[in-house]
């Protein structure tokens, strides 16, 4: 069978499809099994409205997962996503509500917050050698505290003339498809092109796989690290803006533990903690699976606290298999 399929691998479209299924066969089987299980046991799972709810719900995790994937590809991590999501949403809404700024100017300022925090993460990691876990954990605390301080610990409702237009960013749809779902699809397509069709994307794989060899070959590992965490910061900020638009308010409490979902989706999708390995298609399926777990357990009236247990088990199992697959690999720097 495999020899038969190999004849098609050089064909542009069919070959790409076959390669995708070969690379992600395990997780696709898991996704299929979950769909069958939920179709049988979860009431109203196979409805159009529920499908649209799932697509809208996974958009936040999908945007955060892209940033986490890139950081893990460098054998690092980014724990800032949820807190950065909160502070960017608060900043964007406050710019409109408290300072009367134009909606698009406010959105740009929210994205600037994400860019600044992400760039700071990357620069500190690159220039000081402090492990990304410590740096991004500290930045998580800084961003969460900033969100509380700016909002005085309370939600910031949007009551300006831009309220309706801003709400459409998170609640609108295009031909029946929720706009947040379209954002995340475009983001994943852009990520695929970026990683596989650009020099910078190849540099990320190189630095993640062997930073010393990459440096000797003329790649600026410092620039790559700053870029990766900057992208992660901007995407987290954009996710925060979309989420605040859905609620038409800035919520300083929003995004708590969202990093867990993003990390679970990324490791489930085959991104290696040893660096240098990451498949965009696999991570997208991972995002779908994590979203379906939350949705399915809710429809089955299972205590929501079990979601944390299931996702924790997924991370442990996925990392264990990654370690077994990479046994003998040695990484000394990020």
Q: Of 242, 78, 268, 73, nearest to 171 (Cα)?
A: 242
- Report residue 10's pLDDT band, with 50, 70 and 90 as the boundaries: low
Residue 332 has pLDDT above 50, yes or no: no
% residues pLDDT > 70 (the chain): 93
3-state secondary structure of 6: helix
Q: Note whether 249 and 153 are within 8 A (CB).
A: no
pLDDT of residue 326: 66
Report in angstroms the alpha-carbon separations of 201 from 62, 193, 205, 224: 19, 8, 7, 9
Residue 211 has pLDDT above 70, yes or no: yes
Among 18-27, 111-120, 152-161, 307-316, top mean pLDDT goes to 111-120
Alpha-carbon dihedral angle through residues 128, 133, 136, 142, given to the nearest 10 degrees:
-100
Contacts of residue 47, Cβ cutoff 8 Å, sequence gap at least 6: none
**Counts for the chain of helices (H) and strands (E), in that order:** 15, 4
Mean pLDDT of 82-89: 97
3-state secondary structure of 156: strand
Residue 203 has pLDDT above 50, yes or no: yes
3-state secondary structure of 250: strand
Q: What is the pTM assigned to this prediction?
A: 0.90
Mean pLDDT of 272-292: 91
**How far is 201 from 272, CA to CA, in rounded Å?**
16
Q: Which DSSP helix (H) or strand (E) runs through 26? A: helix 25-41
pLDDT of residue 312: 86
**How far is 329 from 277, CA to CA, in rounded Å?**
13
Residue 207 has pLDDT above 90, yes or no: yes
pLDDT of residue 7: 55
Q: Note whether 275 and 206 are within 8 A (CB).
A: no
Residue 6 has pLDDT above 60, yes or no: no
**How far is 75 from 96, CA to CA, in rounded Å?**
39
Q: Of 108, 241, 125, 221, nearest to 180 (Cα)?
A: 241
pLDDT of residue 9: 55
pLDDT of residue 321: 80
Outline where 152-220 has alpha helix (H).
163-171, 179-197, 199-209, 211-216
pLDDT of residue 333: 44
Phi, psi of 174 (to 5 degrees): -130, 115
Q: Note whether 163 and 244 are within 8 A (CB).
A: no
> Which is higher by pLDDT, 175 or 229?
229
- For 23, other C-beta atoms within 10 Å of its C-beta total 14
- Report residue 22's pLDDT band, with 50, 70 and 90 as the boundaries: confident
pLDDT tens by residue, 86-123: 999 999 999 999 999 999 999 999 999 999 999 999 99
- Report residue 78's pLDDT band, with 50, 70 and 90 as the boundaries: very high
């Amino acid at each position: 069978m495999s020899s038969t399929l190999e004849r098609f691998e050089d064909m542009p479209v069919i070959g790409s499809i076959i390669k995708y299924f070969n690379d992600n066969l395990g997780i696709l089987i898991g996704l299929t099994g979950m769909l069958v299980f939920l179709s049988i046991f979860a009431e109203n799972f196979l409805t159009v409205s529920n499908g649209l709810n799932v697509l809208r719900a996974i958009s936040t995790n999908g945007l955060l997962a892209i940033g986490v994937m890139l950081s893990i590809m460098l054998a690092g991590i980014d724990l800032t996503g949820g807190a950065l999501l909160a502070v960017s949403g608060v900043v964007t809404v406050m710019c409109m509500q408290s300072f009367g700024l134009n909606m698009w100017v406010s959105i740009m300022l929210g994205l600037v917050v994400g860019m600044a925090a992400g760039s700071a993460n990357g620069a500190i990691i690159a220039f000081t050698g402090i492990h990304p876990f410590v740096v991004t954990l500290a930045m998580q605390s800084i961003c969460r505290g900033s969100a509380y301080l700016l909002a005085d610990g309370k939600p910031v409702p949007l009551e300006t003339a831009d309220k309706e237009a801003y709400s459409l960013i998170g609640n609108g749809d295009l031909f029946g498809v929720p706009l947040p779902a379209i954002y995340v699809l475009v983001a994943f397509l852009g990520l695929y092109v970026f990683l596989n069709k650009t020099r910078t994307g190849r540099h990320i794989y190189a630095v993640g796989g062997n930073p010393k060899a990459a440096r000797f070959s003329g790649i600026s590992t410092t620039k790559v690290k700053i870029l990766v965490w900057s992208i992660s910061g901007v995407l987290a900020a954009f996710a925060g803006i979309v989420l605040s638009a859905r609620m038409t308010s800035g919520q300083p409490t929003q995004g708590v533990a969202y990093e867990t979902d993003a990390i679970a989706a990324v490791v489930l999708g085959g991104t290696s903690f040893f660096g240098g390995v990451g498949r965009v298609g696999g991570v997208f399926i991972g995002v779908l699976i994590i979203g379906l777990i939350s949705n399915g357990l809710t429809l089955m009236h299972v205590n929501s606290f079990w979601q944390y247990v299931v996702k924790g088990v997924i991370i442990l199992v996925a990392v264990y298999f990654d370690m077994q697959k990479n046994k003998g690999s040695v990484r000394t720097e990020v």
